[in-house]
Amino acid sequence: MAQSATTSAPANLAAPGDSWSSLAAEQGHSPAQYNLGVIYIEGRSGPQDDVMAHMWLNVAASRSQGEEREQAVGNSDIIAARLTREQIAETRGGPKAWSGARGL
């Protein structure tokens, strides 16, 4: 049986395009980065997106410590198991590299 990622973002958390949640994540706020990963896992703002989830969870893990880091790493590993090597490569470099590569 496949393992599923733990989702614990607040139910009222805004979608990734929302100015507050995205801005906080882009400014380096690791809880917001983790929450964006969860939003993408769940597909709250539209279709579920494992590539974006993996990217935000990795960014959050790199900026967190202790239990928060372990949770982000664990969920990122679960998502990575569902991705191809090419998809994982897309997530390298974080949000700036990803948006630059996609012309966003």
Q: What is the pLDDT of residue 8?
A: 54
Which structure tokens are listed for 80? 């990575």
Mean pLDDT, consecutive 10-residue segments, the chain of 104 residues? 54 55 86 92 88 94 95 96 94 68 41
* Whether the predicted model's global pTM rises above the 0.85 cut: no
Q: What is the pLDDT of residue 104?
A: 36
The residues, any chain, with a CB within 8 Å of residue 78's CB and separated by 6 or more, are 3, 4, 5
Q: What is the pLDDT of residue 54?
A: 95
Q: What is the pLDDT of residue 101?
A: 46
